[in-house]
Amino acid sequence: MAGQVSGKAAPAGAAGGGQWKYAAISVIAVVAFLLGWQVSGWAGWVDPLLLPPLGEVLRTALDLAENGYRQSSLWHHIGISVARAGVAFAAAIVIGVPVGLAMGRSRGLSALLDPFVQFLRPLPKIALIPLVVLWFGIDEGAKFFLIFISTLLSVLVGAAAAVLNVSQQRLRAAATLGASRHQVFWYVILPNALPEIFTTIRLAVGIGWTSLIAAEMVAADSGLGWMVINAGTYLRTDIVMLGIFLLGLIGYLFDALLVFLQRRLAPWAGKEA
């Protein structure tokens, strides 16, 4: 309490100790969940058709890693899904961030684009599948578009909001010092908006990744989303659970990559000015 009253920061060692403590809690929670999952299978508390034991899912993972699924290796299914999503994410970010920043800076551009963005953003992307097939056929273009549009719309909204949330006091101070519009953007708006833009990208990538299964419903014959759907039709719950685990793990790794980039490119995020 004394440290809080005096306004002094907590010692670095204490902060590090707290981080290790919470990391240990997370590890213990995951291990307890996995043990509970396995024990429920051993004890017969849950029908294996509904929830196969963890050991069975691991055996299935080893079998698919060696023999593949439906004439394609497990690594091919993983790679094709990551490639589809990765290309769509990159395109959505490269296009969405500049356009979103421009929307935040220009009321006219925002008035022009915002009605379409706000109409399409909450629309379930699975409803677009019939149109997408008509427009792009059943090749990779259709899958790319569904993931891309799901990600792009969230990036546009978040980037525009990040610009609008920049402190007006900082903008007035820069103008008072004689900064040009170009300088205000590069030295005031962009640095202050960048942390929020990264948060937006993380959320948008999560939304785009969840649309992968819908994208791989479009006449696919490979990919993790397709594998989950196909295995479900044959009641292969072990493969479904493995696919869900891999989808969650890869989504987590995408997010971890974005967190790493944020720490490198916007290290001032979360710190007092």
């010092």: which residue's tokens? 177
Alpha-carbon separation of residue 151 from 30, 77, 226 (angstroms) = 29, 22, 20
- Per-residue pLDDT, averaged over 11-15, amounts to 50
Q: What is the structure's pLDDT at 163?
A: 95
Q: What is the structure's pLDDT at 175?
A: 83
Which of 58-62, 233-237, 265-269 bottoms out in mean pLDDT, i.e. has the lowest?
A: 265-269
**What is the per-residue pLDDT across 29-51, written as a single tens digit (0 to 9) for each?**
999 998 998 888 888 888 888 88
- What domains does the chain contain, in order, with CATH numbers? 51-265 (1.10.3720.10)
- Prediction pTM value: 0.83
Query: Does residue 19 carry a pLDDT above 90?
Result: no
Q: What is the structure's pLDDT at 253?
A: 96
Query: Does residue 181 carry a pLDDT above 90?
Result: no
The rounded distance, in Å, linking the Cα atoms of 232 and 226 is 10
The rounded distance, in Å, linking the Cα atoms of 145 and 151 is 10
Question: Residue 69: helix, strand or coil by DSSP?
Answer: strand
Residue 44 in tokens? 């017969």
Nearest CA among 154, 139, 176 for reference residue 95: 154
